[in-house]
Amino acid sequence: MNLLRLASIASTAALLAACASGPKMAEVKSSIPALKPSEGRIYFYRSNSMMGAALQPEIKLNGKVVGNSKPGGFFFVDAAPGPQEVTTSTEVEKKLTFTLGAGETRYVKTSIGFGLMVGRVYPELVDNAVGQKELEDSSYTGQPLKR
């Protein structure tokens, strides 16, 4: 019985450790640099759910790794305008394609789904209003920001 309780505590601790623990959007908002007029910005984020928390695959933008999908985490990437391709590789690769305009900001949410053997992480393009609202509860997991 004690062993079972210990295992339960250990797994809960592991799940909590798997969640993003950086500063909230409100704390870093003023440190996020202004977007250059010649570029667009993509925010990547994931809701803070315990489901599949241990699954934190890399996120690739146009074939280049730009970060990881962490529960409750967000980061952003500034990119040249044009076609964009986001991929996340877990059991299967799910691709998202969209366009990015100069001066435009877009929001990509990664979500957990369930495959045959393991969970999968799907990228999804969301409305800006939804993305802005959901980012408020997320923790920053990107590159250090200058104060």
Taking the complex as a whole, the smallest distance from the CB of residue 62 to other proteins amounts, in Å, to: 11
Taking the complex as a whole, the smallest distance from the CB of residue 114 to other proteins amounts, in Å, to: 9
How many residues does this entry show for the chain?
A: 147
Nearer to other proteins, 18 or 126 (CB): 126
Taking the complex as a whole, the smallest distance from the CB of residue 31 to other proteins amounts, in Å, to: 27
CA angle 36, 101, 71 (to 5 degrees): 80
d(CA 106, CA 125) in angstroms, rounded, equals 8
Nearer to other proteins, 14 or 102 (CB): 102
Taking the complex as a whole, the smallest distance from the CB of residue 42 to other proteins amounts, in Å, to: 12
First-residue to last-residue Cα distance in the chain: 50
- Sheet strand arrangement including 105-114: 119-126, 105-114, 40-46, 73-79, 139-140
Nearer to other proteins, 27 or 124 (CB): 124
Nearer to other proteins, 27 or 127 (CB): 127
**Token digits of residue 124:** 């999804």
d(CA 111, CA 48) in angstroms, rounded, equals 10
Taking the complex as a whole, the smallest distance from the CB of residue 111 to other proteins amounts, in Å, to: 11
Nearer to other proteins, 37 or 83 (CB): 83
| φ and ψ of 19, to 5 deg | -80, 150
Binding site for other proteins (CB under 8 A): 83-85, 94-99, 115-116, 122-127, 129
